[in-house]
Amino acid sequence: MNLTILTLFPEPVEAYFASSIMAKAVARGLVTYRCVNIRDFAVDVHRTCDDAPYGGGAGMVLKPGPLAAALDSVGGDRIRTIYPTPSGRPFRAPLVHELAAEKELILVCGRYEGIDQRIIDRYVDDEISIGDYVLSSGELAALVIIDAVYRRINGVITAESLDEESFEDGLLEYPHYTRPETFASVGVPEVLLSGHHEQIRAWRMEQRIAKTRQMRPDLYQAWLAQRDDKE
């Protein structure tokens, strides 16, 4: 997958691509990326990228000129272009899967109050919100989207780990334990030491159901309904 990130603050984006599982995916050629600094496309001597909103009000808006020039330089008119914004549609597992099937994506990171609406109308295919709160950094939201998407590309993570994850079958994950067997006077659930695979599987399923019911009654109700449908 080829990722292009348009930003005024390339440092946190570059740092993310240089670390951990993403760095490995890049090294193995599963992901390629380029960071484009929107400021490089500002034309005045001060390389201004933001301005006050028409109609007044708080904050600043990203000017359309530099952004359009940056988008034109990376093929923004033909490549699926995502604008992370609290005003977008919710980012959930089905959209993650849809984006993971794309060969190429562009992400536009906003700052300040947002970007000029004419850029959205002309270039943006998906306005996506990662949750019901406001971040000051579009870069963080873009990286959340990128992280959720790239790990579902074939070869980045084993298929087994993906299938057992939260949200893939409507339930949250079961609890995990590793050595030592006693930590701070607390042991590990007996069944996990039993080597009895069927019992372990059943215990984990019970735990997932209980956890989902407690933490996410909304997911629990949906899971119950689809289970009853199947029966």
Interface residues with ligand 6GU (CB under 6 A) are 84-86, 128-131, 133-135, 138, 141
C-beta of 96 vs 224, nearer to ligand 6GU: 96
Strands 61-62 and 114-115: parallel
Say which residues have a Cβ less than 8 Å from residue 94's Cβ, sequence separation at least 6: none
C-beta of 102 vs 113, nearer to ligand 6GU: 113
Going across the sheet that includes 114-115, the strands are: 50-51, 61-62, 114-115
Cα 115 from Cα 72, distance rounded (Å): 16
**Minimum distance, C-beta of residue 161 to ligand 6GU, in the bound complex (Å):** 26
The H-or-E segment that residue 38 falls in is none
C-beta of 88 vs 211, nearer to ligand 6GU: 88
Residues paired with residue 126 on neighbouring β-strands, in sequence order: 82
**Minimum distance, C-beta of residue 111 to ligand 6GU, in the bound complex (Å):** 8
**Minimum distance, C-beta of residue 49 to ligand 6GU, in the bound complex (Å):** 16
93-100 and 138-150 are packed helices; what angle lies between their axes, rounded to 10 degrees?
Answer: 70
**Minimum distance, C-beta of residue 200 to ligand 6GU, in the bound complex (Å):** 38
C-beta of 8 vs 130, nearer to ligand 6GU: 130
